[in-house]
Amino acid sequence: MDKIAIVDTTFARFDMGAVAEAELKRQPGFGKKFELVRATVPGIKDLAVACKRLIEHENCSIVLALGMPGRADLDRLSAHEASLGLMAAQLLTTTPILQVFVHETESEDPGELRNIAQHRSARHAVNAYWMLYEPERLRERAGKGIRQGSADAGPW
């Protein structure tokens, strides 16, 4: 049985992990084809090691790394460093890690940020499922300008 991991942070101001978990539990095959593994770390720079550890010790097939960088310049720098760590973990393990970040600078409105976080977390959970079990669903969407958490940009 495959394992899909969800790693989130305490720094986030919305429980993105719970949204991703609920969405994955609605997918066909939950409990039969795949199970979920979840971990929570303090901040986004802690995500890479947690993801790598779940891949290596729990044999996870794919990981969702969820985080919410704050508004400060230091937070944006931390998000960049976290992204580099997640890319390195993917390369070291040859396992997909979907980075799902919602930057607080995406909106001034907390309600809108909550909606972005909810939508992005749910859509990327489905993307992770499709990557494992229905890759043709992603292929059908290639070049369509589809966004998670905001309006689709559309194709040219």
Three-state DSSP class for residue 129: helix
pLDDT tens digits for range 90-140: 999 999 999 999 999 999 999 999 999 999 999 999 999 999 999 999 999
When pLDDT is averaged across residues 68-86 and rounded to a whole number, the result is 96
In order of start, what are the domains of the chain with their CATH numbers?
Answer: 2-140 (3.40.50.960)
pLDDT at 149: 84
CA angle 38, 102, 96 (to 5 degrees): 50
Residues 6+ apart with CB under 8 A from 13: 68, 104, 110, 113
Q: What is the value of pTM for the model shown?
A: 0.95
Residue 71's beta-bridge partner residues?
none
Asked if residue 99 lies in contact with residue 39, where contact means CB atoms within 8 angstroms, the answer is no
| 99 within 8 A of 83, measured Cβ to Cβ | yes
